[in-house]
Structure 1
Amino acid sequence: MAPVQLKLTPQQALSRLVPHILDLASKAHGQRIAIGLAGGPGTGKSTLAAELVTTLDTTHPGIAALVPMDGFHMKHAKLEAMGQVDYKGAPHTFEGADFVSFLHHLKLATGPVSGPGYSRKIEDTVENAFTVQPEARILIVEGNYLLLTEGPWAGVKPLLDYSVFIDVPRDVVQARLMKRHGEEGLFTEERNRAHIERNDLPNYDLVCLSQDRADVVISMDVFG
């Protein structure tokens, strides 16, 4: 079935998603549900995911937990050994199977579960960056590759109870990525521009091909 297509501002998206997610949770008979927020790099899904968790927790304290895919980047040292640093962030530079296993475990877990995060300050993963508490009934899962059908990523979609694809124009994404890569001052502007052209934008293009697998596609009105 084709996804529902919506054009919304970030605030409208939040207002629309929160009641729908709470309704899904109320019908889950106490089981955990996983809500996937997919989209290319620089589309604002991390921000929306964090705001969803905050808003859901305001209505029902402790009900939601954020589960970022980015903590499953391969370790930088491993990428160096593989000669793949220039392609960091591409699907094959993640521990995709580990992410699927982690998500499967999370949906069934009855105790606290800690997971890894990714720090742009050191450009590497950090162990035990977050903990999902037992009372969390809603997992807000966000990442680029949640809807891909290639390799281990194909195992993610069956674990999602509802999936949202965030669509933002390519030129807006490019500008955001230049700003993001420059914020920590780790690399030159020239390097950042080359990395975006070689890696980030092709990843964005790849991810856009998976949007038809979502339940809803939100074309984000970034100027609204």
Structure 2
Amino acid sequence: MADEDLIRSSTPTRRTLEPQTALSLLVVHIQRMHSKAAGKRIAIGITGGPGTGKSTLAREVVTMLNATHPGAAALVPMDGFHMRHAKLEALGTVDFKGAPHTFEGAEFVNFLHHLKQATTAVNGPGYSRKIEDVVDNAFTIQPDVTMLIVEGNYLLLTDGPWAGVKPLLDYAVFIDVEREIVRARLLKRHAEEGLFSEERNKAHIERTDLPNYDLVCQSQDRADLIITLKVEQ
């Protein structure tokens, strides 16, 4: 596939790909964008609904970029901007944890804006599924990083503070996976941590995760590239 096929336009490019092919395509395209940026820091968004595998793909992209440009790429996860669990309890919104309104969206936008301009090391928060809460200083973006791989569900939403994310991205990729595959993946993910009962996990998926998936899918046409992944589970 020619790189010219992936240029930004008013309508997204759509591809159906195996995961490894998608990875290779993204790495080559980002490398070309990087070379054209002439040292300017660029931000590539990888988004999609929960359970689509975007986090894994984003990590793999960073690894492959750093294999050819050591230290030039870094992962910037949106999950570190969850509201802290204690705050959600105080607000009475724990049951909807993971929905857009349970994130510090404005803080995330401000963080991205700062990262695009920063010339010194910047620490960022992460999220641990083992404790279901935010972890401070989970990662550091070093000054020599020139490729930010930004990953999260809500990068393309237009409501509230989330509308401020898209203008900060130099390129946006939407990862699409069939809804029933996502449901099965989410059941497995929640069960692996063993924090809650199967009944609670199923209820949370139906109440929060899948509605979030549906909401995020409505934003996909704002992406530059939509990749439907050919996966079984």
Alpha-carbon distance in 2 for matches of 1:158, 1:72: 19
Tell whether 2:92 aligns with 1:88. Answer: no
Residue number among 10, 15, 18 corresponding to 2:24 in the alignment: 15
Tell whether 2:191 aligns with 1:185. Answer: no
Q: In structure 2, give the amino acid aligned to 1:23.
A: R
Alpha-carbon distance in 1 for matches of 2:97, 2:18: 30
Deviates more, 1:16-25 or 1:81-90: 16-25
What corresponds to 1:59 in structure 2?
A: 68
Deviates more, 1:83-92 or 1:15-24: 15-24
Alpha-carbon distance in 2 for matches of 1:30, 1:60: 12
Q: Structure 1 residue 223: deviation in Å?
A: 3.8
Residues 85-164 of structure 1: matches in 2 within 5 Å?
Answer: 85-164=94-173
Alpha-carbon distance in 1 for matches of 2:129, 2:45: 22
Alpha-carbon distance in 1 for matches of 2:192, 2:33: 38
Q: Structure 1 residue 190: deviation in Å?
A: 0.3
Tell whether 2:210 aligns with 1:198. Answer: no
Q: String of CA shifts for 1:36-68, please: whole Å, max 9, x gaps.
A: 001000000000000000000001100100000
What corresponds to 2:4 in structure 1?
A: none
Residue number among 31, 34, 41 corresponding to 1:25 in the alignment: 34
Q: Structure 1 residue 29: deviation in Å?
A: 2.3
When the two structures are aligned, how many residues end up with a matched partner?
Answer: 224
- TM-score normalised per structure 2: 0.95
Alpha-carbon distance in 2 for matches of 1:68, 1:10: 20
Q: Structure 1 residue 2: deviation in Å?
A: 1.3
Alpha-carbon distance in 2 for matches of 1:73, 1:110: 26
Q: Structure 1 residue 27: deviation in Å?
A: 1.2
Q: In structure 2, give the amino acid aligned to 1:107.
A: K
What corresponds to 1:39 in structure 2?
A: 48
Could you list the runs of 4 or more consecutive aligned residues of structure 1 that deviate by over 2 angstroms after TM superposition?
none
Q: In structure 1, give the amino acid aligned to 2:34.
A: A
Question: Percent identical across equivalent pairs?
Answer: 73
- TM-score normalised per structure 1: 0.99
Question: What is the RMSD computed on CA atoms of the aligned residues?
Answer: 0.9
Unpaired runs of at least 5, structure 2? 1-9
Unpaired runs of at least 5, structure 1? none
Q: In structure 1, give the amino acid aligned to 2:110.
A: S
Tell whether 2:10 aligns with 1:4. Answer: no
Q: In structure 2, give the amino acid aligned to 1:97.
A: A
Q: What secondary structure sits across from 1:176 in the alignment?
A: helix
Q: In structure 1, give the amino acid aligned to 2:183.
A: Q
Q: In structure 2, give the amino acid aligned to 1:154.
A: A
Deviates more, 1:70-79 or 1:1-10: 1-10
Deviates more, 1:53-62 or 1:24-33: 24-33
Q: In structure 2, give the amino acid aligned to 1:203.
A: N
Alpha-carbon distance in 2 for matches of 1:46, 1:187: 23
